[in-house]
Amino acid sequence: MKVTANSRNDNIKRINEIYKVLKENDFGYLIEENTFFKRFPFLRNKKYQEEVAVLDETVPIRIRNVLEQLGPAYIKLGQMLSTRPDLVGIEIAEELQQLRDNTPVTPFDEMKPLIEEELDAPIDEIFSSIDETPIGSASIGQVYKATLKEEDMEVAIKVQKPNIQEIIESDLKIMKFLATRVDRFISSSRVYNLPAMVDEFDRSILKELNFTEELMNLQRLSANFRGVSYIKIPDAYMDYCSEKVLTMELIKGVEVTDLIKGDYPEIDKKKIANYGLKSYFKQMMIDGFFHADPHPGNLIVTEDQKLCYIDAGMMGILNDDFKEDLAELILLMISGNSSNIINQLIYMDIITTSQNTPELQDDIDSLMNLYYGAELRNMDGAMEALLNVMIKNNIVLPKEFVMIGRGIAIIEDTGKKLDPNFNAAAELKKLSRKIITNKFKPKRMSKVGINYLLQLEHLAKGLPDTIRNTATKIEDGNLEVKLRHEQINELANQLSVSLILSSMIIGSSLAIIGGAGPKIWDMSAIGLIGFVFSAVLGAFLVIEYMIERD
């Protein structure tokens, strides 16, 4: 297939680039099979050779290669999908977890004008010194070490790369275009619901592009951990922050990734593992505001041996009801009652009653049998295993529930690498019991009761208006009723037979009364035969009805 470049249309040039990368990784058919692309400068070969994707062990690797080659927006898409195994499958999600921002470092000369524009002042008026070599670089931004002139404080400056927002917004348009067309023309792709996937990514990436949101996340995390001596959240300097620049306290210490690999006798690894466990479960089960990606690279052990969370661009949020329901689910998992686990998942709207199949029940039974009788510390991984069971049964899960499962799995894995005797399940059980106990405390019950009373009051206030409006519609003949008919064909057939039977009885009665036609026992033969046939048909309908009722 020949690809024609068009310098006057950046979008078409970008689609050309995407096609080339797809073709290099044996995914060219995704575009070539899409006949809509004939309207664009893609000319199919006269002799079309179908490129069928072979669903083997190389597919996840090839997908990762495609995303890495396509740049920032696609790398971020892959990183998001790595947290959604329910959408892309476990194998692909695990491969995408290896995605790293590998974009080249943008020279400081190009970053400096953006910093000055965003902070509305020359750099040397704000910072007494700044290291022009970034201490961190990603697809969206770069981080520099500097010293604030007025505060004489070392800081880290996170700066968004020039024009990155325009680049990502352009790629998003192309992603939506491709997702819609591929979903329309390639039926095998519809199982992934690509348009919905891209829409979710759209919402996610636009939040990351706004550093003001990360600033607010840091402030909320800091407030939640106020008084917790072993956790550190970087302070932000609001006077030097904007949508594209975030100035925060420079955290010095050892990244947990390095702590796992290296030998640091001055650091108590067991204590750090316990800090990570308690702090993450506090975020999730108590605060309802938790770090969406607590992998070791986002955790630093400070010089005074506190645990610090960095990169608060994406956070998960849980309401009180969901936290309580989650605590009940965890306790049910620890007790090993599979029937109650399924009922709880339905109650939490994680699965529907139609998804409660015998296969799902058997899989959860097998999972619970695996953990039955095991020591509590050997139950680590149970939440992730439950997620995998539901993914295996093609259940698309709520984003927050997947984030919880993945977060717990990361904390468990990190904890065991730091401490072989690490026990996450015991802490989960203790927290869950505390939440359930708090649920039935008088103060909590009083708060819930007041909420219910307010809802009843609002309902009572609105009821007269609702009744009056309904009555008015009935009087005016404007009331519309929508019915959902089950087994409509059978109902129509039964109704047709009943109408025929009624007509035959009436007709036979008229024939007998009028004495029409030949006579049998001084009665109209036509009417008599009609009555006999009606009796047989009526008896058949009654018997059939009784059989169906049984």
User: 127, 117, 113: which is closest to 157 by C-alpha?
Assistant: 127
pLDDT of residue 382: 80
Amino acid letter at 324? E
Residues 192-208: pLDDT tens digits?
Answer: 677 877 888 888 888 88
DSSP letters of 308-322?
Answer: EE---SSEEE--HHH
Q: Which residue has the higher pLDDT, 255 or 449?
A: 255
Output the pTM of the full model: 0.70
pLDDT of residue 43: 42
Residues 87-131: pLDDT tens digits?
Answer: 777 888 888 888 865 567 899 999 999 999 999 999 999 999 999
Contact by Cβ (8 Å): 231, 308: yes
Place of tokens 């790595």: 82
In this predicted structure, the answer to whether residue 446 has a pLDDT above a threshold of 70 is no
Residues 208-231: pLDDT tens digits?
Answer: 889 999 999 999 999 999 989 999
> Which alpha helices (H) appear in 71-107, and where do they start and end?
72-81, 85-88, 90-96
User: 81, 94, 303, 311: which is closest to 197 by C-alpha?
Assistant: 81
Place of tokens 């989650």: 326
Q: How far is CA 42 from CA 17, 20, 27, 183, 233, in A?
A: 12, 11, 16, 19, 52
| Strand 136-137 to 141-148 pairing | antiparallel
Tokens representing 223 are 């407030």
Q: How many C-beta neighbours within 10 Å does residue 470 have? A: 11
In a 3-state reduction of DSSP, which class is residue 349?
Answer: coil
Distance CA(161)–CA(186), nearest Å, equals 36
Q: Which residues, in sequence order, are bridge partners of residue 144?
A: 157
User: 225, 361, 408, 379: which is closest to 306 by C-alpha?
Assistant: 225
**Would you give the DSSP letter of residue 542?**
H
Residues 159-187: pLDDT tens digits?
Answer: 999 988 888 888 888 888 888 877 776 66
Tokens representing 256 are 């947990």
